[in-house]
Amino acid sequence: MKTYTRRSIVTGAFLLLIYIIIYMIASWRSGKSPEVVADREVMRRQLDRIEQNLNKLEKPVVPKLFPDSLLFAHWGNDLSEEDQKEAEGLFQIYGYNAFLSNRLPLDRELRDMRDNRCLLKTYPKDLPDISVVLIYINEALSVIKRAVRSVITHTPKHLLKEIILVDDCSTYNYIDQIHTERPGLIKKVRHTRQMGLAQSRMSGWEQATADAVAILDAHIEVTVGWAEPLLARIKADKTVLVSPVFDKVHFDDLHVEKYIPASHGFDWALWCRYESFRPEWFEMRDESQPGKSPSLMGIFAADRGFLGEIGGLDGGMTVYGGENVELGIHVWLCGGSVEIVPCSRVAHIERAHKPYALDLSPAMRRNALRVAEIWLDDYKKNVFIAWNIPLKGHGIDIGDVSERRKLRENLKCKPFKWYLDNVYPSLETWDNVLGYGGVSSMFTHSIYCVDQGVVPGNVPILYGCHFQSPQHCYYNTDSELIIGGIQSHKYSQNRCLVDPGSGNNPRPAGVSCRTQRCLEIAQGTSFFYKLIIQRCSGQSWTLQHLITNF
């Protein structure tokens, strides 16, 4: 390292001397002839190259200790080894760059992402006041403090009644260290056991006293003018739940990426997703206007009384997942609506991994089945299909749903078919699916399954059965066999097995999948068994789950 440093100093001094000489020559030759101007341009480029080399020599390159870490893929090249260790340790805990967050100002200024038309809007003077709920589990202290600071800074003082912090039993208990500057503004709730996102949000709602309540994650920064557009919609219609547009805060360098306004949808597994607004929103040709949305992503504001009247979120949902979709469906069916409000923007950290559990799928699956049992009527089978679960005897405990069913009855909520017809018509109904799951066959004393192969959309292969997603197949009334996943939306195309008409190699395609020949197993030229399409010889296949006999 010493040798490297001495060499850098000598090289740097030499380059600096050349830099000075070239600069003096350029200053001396200050004529205006074309030849002189050209010479000066060449000298300028030479000076730029020398300056770049000098910058490279400022310090030695530090090796990356965690080359495979997502945190250091695009950030942290200049960190010392000690700082890399600290940053990676915090990243593993929180799923974002807490090391950097701890060094950023709590009141950092974010770029105004709003449409210019939002800046021209005026709002009523008598807007309802608001309680802001921030929920978290194992959140970096600096991130929570920055969220609180942003709410105080960007919410008009006469509208902000209180901030309610809900700690869902974090490993680190520092709730008393958060914002002590304004006594009475902050309320604090700490669960003695982890109760999940839905109950955390309801714990905050129970403590709220303002006319409206905003329920947010604690890894956010609200931005200028965020509250007034939401409160104006609630004042105009107390039955509407409103959501801001989320701008993405990258987990590694914490820069903010602008997101376009979009509605919040979901697939039949009840994982949420962004989708385009319906055509009537685009017909307005005004991106500052609110747009109807089938569901919510989890951050929203509502009239506090109305949220209570419809029963709020389902406290029986555990850990993470599905609670936002449940609320969206629930609101629409029981007399309310959901809107995305583009003039309200919130910067939200998208974590690389979440702190709730190492594998969120079991909790998400359980919650999805609970939503299906309460709200989806005859369409609940689609959730079973999406999760590849048998319609009966799945053995998954979804908890007691009697109270939520009674709530639905008392509120005289609409049937789910109304929701599909009027709110979410782009969601496929899957009415033609006859069976789903793994497609297996016994051949030469071994069981093989149809598999989509290494790359989805390529020629399907024969593989040992593991019944995971690459082997999920769906057979429908059109005699189509869809391999490796089925689309939840009408605007997406399934890929089913196709008889090419000649030869015997099956292929996937988005066209008619009917055939007069059979999918069978045969020995290939390399003595391995493979899938072929040929004249039916009597081989049989077993489909894992049947909806009806066929």
- H/E run at residue 231: helix 227-236
Q: Across all residues in the chain, what is the average pLDDT?
A: 88
Say what the pLDDT of residue 512 is.
42
Task: Report residue 248: phi and psi, to 5°.
Answer: -85, 120
Say what the pLDDT of residue 143 is.
97
Report the alpha-carbon distance of residue 419 to residue 381 in Å, rounded.
16
Q: Tell me: the pLDDT tens digits for 383-430?
A: 999 999 999 999 999 999 999 999 999 999 999 999 999 999 999 999
Report the alpha-carbon distance of residue 407 to residue 314 in Å, rounded.
11
Confidence of residue 277 (pLDDT cuts 50, 70, 90): very high
Residue 152 scores a pLDDT above 50: yes
Who wins on pLDDT, 156 or 48? 156
Q: Is position 255 within any domain?
A: no
Q: Which residues contact 113 (CB under 8 A, 6 or more apart)?
A: 223, 245, 247, 256, 258, 345
Q: Is position 460 within any domain?
A: yes
87-96, 207-216, 327-336, 514-523: which has the minimum mean pLDDT?
514-523
Report the alpha-carbon distance of residue 434 to residue 443 in Å, rounded.
24
Who wins on pLDDT, 498 or 288? 288
Q: At what angle do helices 2-28 and 34-56 cross, to 10 degrees?
A: 160
Say what the pLDDT of residue 522 is.
87
Q: Which residues contact 504 (CB under 8 A, 6 or more apart)?
A: 522, 532, 533, 534
Identify which of 147, 112, 341, 154 has the alpha carbon closest to the alpha carbon of residue 245.
341
Q: Tell me: the pLDDT tens digits for 241-259?
A: 999 999 999 999 999 999 9
Q: Is position 166 within any domain?
A: no
Identify which of 129, 211, 203 has the alpha carbon closest to the alpha carbon of residue 164.
203
Say how many Å lie between the first and final Cα of the chain, rounded: 75
Confidence of residue 487 (pLDDT cuts 50, 70, 90): very high
Residue 85 scores a pLDDT above 60: yes
Report the alpha-carbon distance of residue 400 to residue 544 in Å, rounded.
29
Query: In 132-260, which residue ranges form alpha helices assigned H by DSSP?
Result: 141-154, 197-207, 227-236
Give the side-chain half-sphere CA count within 13 A for 157.
1
Q: Which residue has the tokens 């006999």?
A: 549
Token digits for 23?
């600069």
Say which CATH number the domain at 515 has. 2.80.10.50
Report the alpha-carbon distance of residue 10 to residue 216 in Å, rounded.
56
Cβ neighbours around 404 below 10 Å, total: 21
Confidence of residue 227 (pLDDT cuts 50, 70, 90): very high
Q: Tell me: the pLDDT tens digits for 443-467?
A: 777 889 999 887 766 788 888 899 9
% of the chain residues with pLDDT over 70:
85
For the ranges 104-113, 478-487, 495-504, 535-544, the maximum mean pLDDT occurs at 104-113
Q: Is position 515 within any domain?
A: yes
Report the alpha-carbon distance of residue 138 to residue 203 in Å, rounded.
17
What is the mean pLDDT of the segment spanning 544-548? 91
Cβ–Cβ under 8 Å, residues 245 and 229: no
Q: Tell me: the pLDDT tens digits for 11-44?
A: 555 555 665 665 555 555 555 444 544 455 555 6
Q: Which residues contact 122 (CB under 8 A, 6 or more apart)?
A: none
How many domains does one find in the chain?
2
Q: Is position 451 within any domain?
A: yes
Q: Which residue has the tokens 């999948």?
A: 513
Say what the pLDDT of residue 2 is.
45
Indicate the SS3 state at residue 35.
Answer: helix
Say what the pLDDT of residue 19 is.
54
For 317: left if phi > 0, alpha if psi spans -120 to 50, otherwise beta; the answer is beta
Say what the pLDDT of residue 55 is.
60
Q: Which domain holds residue 494?
A: 433-546
Report the alpha-carbon distance of residue 193 to residue 207 in Å, rounded.
18
Q: Is position 23 within any domain?
A: yes
Q: Is position 39 within any domain?
A: yes
Token digits for 429?
């109904």
Identify which of 146, 126, 133 has the alpha carbon closest to the alpha carbon of residue 347.
146
Q: What is the largest CA-CA distance in the chain?
A: 94
Residue 57 scores a pLDDT above 90: no
Residue 166 scores a pLDDT above 50: yes
Report the alpha-carbon distance of residue 477 to residue 475 in Å, rounded.
7
Confidence of residue 50 (pLDDT cuts 50, 70, 90): low
Mapped to the 3 state alphabet, what secondary structure does 390-447 carry? CCCCCCCCCCCCHHHHHHHHHCCCCCHHHHHHHCCCCECCCCCEEEEEEEEEEECCEE
Given 56, 76, 100, the domain boundary residue is 56
Q: Tell me: the pLDDT tens digits for 341-376?
A: 999 999 999 999 988 877 889 999 999 999 999 999
Identify which of 242, 129, 124 has the alpha carbon closest to the alpha carbon of residue 185.
129
CA 521 to chain centre: 41
Cβ–Cβ under 8 Å, residues 148 and 117: no
Report the alpha-carbon distance of residue 60 to residue 209 in Å, rounded.
57
Say what the pLDDT of residue 495 is.
80
Which sign does the torsion angle of CA 412, 369, 488, 285 carry? positive
Token digits for 352?
């690389």
Calculate ∠ Cα 423-429-431, nearest 5°: 150
Q: Which residue has the tokens 């974590």?
A: 351
Give the side-chain half-sphere CA count within 13 A for 77.
6
What is the mean pLDDT of the segment spanning 300-309? 98
Token digits for 264?
């919040």
Q: Tell me: the pLDDT tens digits for 118-140?
A: 999 999 999 999 999 999 999 99
Integer CA distances (angstroms), 473 to 486, 487, 488, in order: 8, 12, 14
Q: Is position 371 within any domain?
A: no
